[in-house]
Structure 1
Amino acid sequence: MSGEPTKPRGREPVSAKDDRSGGLPQADASTADDIAAFVAKARAMSPHAPGAKGRLIFALDATMSRQPTWDMACALQADMFREAAALGSLDIRLVYYRGFNECRATGWISDSVRLATLMSKIDCRGGDTQIGKVLSEARREAVASGVRAVVFVGDAMEEKVDELCAKAGELGMLKVPVFLFQEGYDAVAEQAFREIARLTGGAWCRFDPGAAAQLRDLLRAAAAYAAGGREALLKLSKTTSGAALLIGQMK
């Protein structure tokens, strides 16, 4: 991915990797040999080995309806770093989509202030969901540099669910759980999110619109898993409801 985002009105664009069309490229169809090769490579990298630095993909729907939650997530993302700091360390790669065929990713970020600054420069724009591109990006990064978990925050799904499930299945083979945090009560989105969570060994949770405390607990729990694995999440589940919800669903 290369190139710079088009400068939006009002806010400055964040530097991100993308293709010439302004979006993350779609993954090609995978053969059985392709899948076996990338699973072997990812396992060799041992992203879950003791002492390894946690890496988390933080994916957000930045279409127009998401502006209130985007602003809230800007404030709450620091809690992910604080939780991870108590367990070791954490790098986060922000991925977001908005507008027409625009899906972008930052580099790996290890500082909460820098992540908040980048997020504050992004404005939300109307458009369809692009969850498939998020899953493809997670797959590439899982093979290239190791990813412990994916967090997705959104409220809708407007894509072919079978195609999303195929991508989710590949992440499941790589042992990269996807934690999907749904705002609102869209039934189509819930069905798809639950299935993606099941296929990846992750979890689906709903939070109420504008419920900062609920989202904070869920983000803290995902960060705990990314930084310290299942054991850290299990320990956190004894004191926070968000972690208990995640650990209760994970395989």
Structure 2
Amino acid sequence: MNKDNRTPTTAGTTGSSRREIDEFLARASTIAPAPAGGRGRLMFALDATMSRQPSWDKACAIQGEMFTEAGKVGGLDMQLVYFRGFGECRASKWISDGEKLGGLMSRIDCRGGRTQIGKVLVRALEETRKAPVQALVYIGDAMEENVDILCARAGELGLKRVPMFLFQERGDRAATSAFKEMARLTRGAHLSFDSSASAELARLLKAVAVYAAGGHKALADRSRGGDAGARLLLDKLS
């Protein structure tokens, strides 16, 4: 840990502070768990535009670890959404296998184009109308859209109790401002995202996934089994 108590970072990035990580865990407690006997649903959305190409391989490894950790949680279905190129925005089917989701992501390559976060939010709203979605995780580095329109859609997700957890790579100011506001509107969280913090981020995401799938009892069971991320989140819930 460096002198200002921030997560170690790579050049050109800024890590999340301990306070920000604590806030992430606290806000994760606002997720509405899946109903008894039902399955939780967690959406993963990726920016695959060309600006992410320089660090794409490292990012894929971190994101793959996130999917694998989330996939270890029983009773949870996940959907991968990504955008790139000229108007391309695709979504997978809902699947429960985190390694399969990571495999799908590993076949995505970056292509030049503008961000399409608005399409991701529309997709999340459409899926929520079909069945509750417990959380939306977004991973990206830029924002090139009308921020007021994005925030209006984020507000709709907030009303439907779908928190956004936004992991930001690099330190683009426009993206930081937009991501923080979308997190606020959905009662989610915004955290920096870099190659040095993969284990920490994976643990945080797993804790969110555990709660989305099984609520307080699932977290307590994981905590008793020695899961550090579950223990941290359980402390916040208590």
* TM bucket normalised to smaller: 0.7 to 0.9
Amino acid at match of 1:93: Q
- Aligned ranges 1:137-148 → 2 under 5 Å: 137-148=123-134
Amino acid at match of 1:183: E
Q: Distance in 1 between matches of 2:82 and 2:136?
A: 12
Question: Which residue does the alignment assign to 2:63?
Answer: 73
C-alpha deviation, 1:50, in angstroms: 2.4
Query: 1:161 touches 1:192 (CA, 8 Å); kept in 2?
Result: yes
- 1:199-232 per-residue CA deviation (whole Å, 9 max, x = no partner) reads 1111111122453223312322331232134676
Using the size of structure 1 for normalisation, the TM-score is 0.70
Q: Distance in 1 between matches of 2:194 and 2:218?
A: 26
Question: Which residue does the alignment assign to 1:189?
Answer: 175
Q: Distance in 1 between matches of 2:70 and 2:170?
A: 22
Considering only aligned residues, what root-mean-square deviation do their CA atoms show, in Å? 2.8
Question: Which residue does the alignment assign to 1:240?
Answer: 229
- The correspondence for 1:222, drawn from 191, 208, 211, is 208
Q: Does 1:152 align with 2:152?
A: no
Distance 1:192 1:114, change over 3 A: same
Distance 1:49 1:212, change over 3 A: same
Query: 1:165 touches 1:195 (CA, 8 Å); kept in 2?
Result: yes
Q: Distance in 1 between matches of 2:123 and 2:33?
A: 17
Query: 2:47 touches 2:115 (CA, 8 Å); kept in 1?
Result: yes
- Aligned ranges 1:102-121 → 2 under 5 Å: 102-121=88-107
- 1:24-47 per-residue CA deviation (whole Å, 9 max, x = no partner) reads xxxxxxxxxxxxxxxxxxxxxx97
Structure 1, unmatched stretches of 5+, are: 1-45
- Matched residues, number: 198
Q: Distance in 2 between matches of 1:116 and 1:209?
A: 17
Greater RCO between the two (CA within 8 Å, min separation 6)?
2
Question: Which residue does the alignment assign to 1:96?
Answer: 82
Distance 1:243 1:164, change over 3 A: farther
Question: Which residue does the alignment assign to 1:178?
Answer: 164
- 1:149-206 per-residue CA deviation (whole Å, 9 max, x = no partner) reads 1000111111111000000011011111111111221121111111111111111111
Distance 1:122 1:178, change over 3 A: same
Q: Does 1:161 align with 2:147?
A: yes
Structure 2, unmatched stretches of 5+, are: 1-31
Amino acid at match of 1:77: F
C-alpha deviation, 1:71, in angstroms: 4.1
Amino acid at match of 1:102: E
Using the size of structure 2 for normalisation, the TM-score is 0.73
Amino acid at match of 1:127: G
- Aligned ranges 1:116-131 → 2 under 5 Å: 116-131=102-117
Distance 1:64 1:214, change over 3 A: farther
Identity %: 52
Query: 1:130 touches 1:159 (CA, 8 Å); kept in 2?
Result: yes
Distance 1:127 1:48, change over 3 A: same
Amino acid at match of 2:139: V
Amino acid at match of 1:135: L
Runs of 4+ in 1 over 6 A off after TM superposition: 233-236
Question: Which residue does the alignment assign to 1:37?
Answer: none
Distance 1:149 1:76, change over 3 A: closer
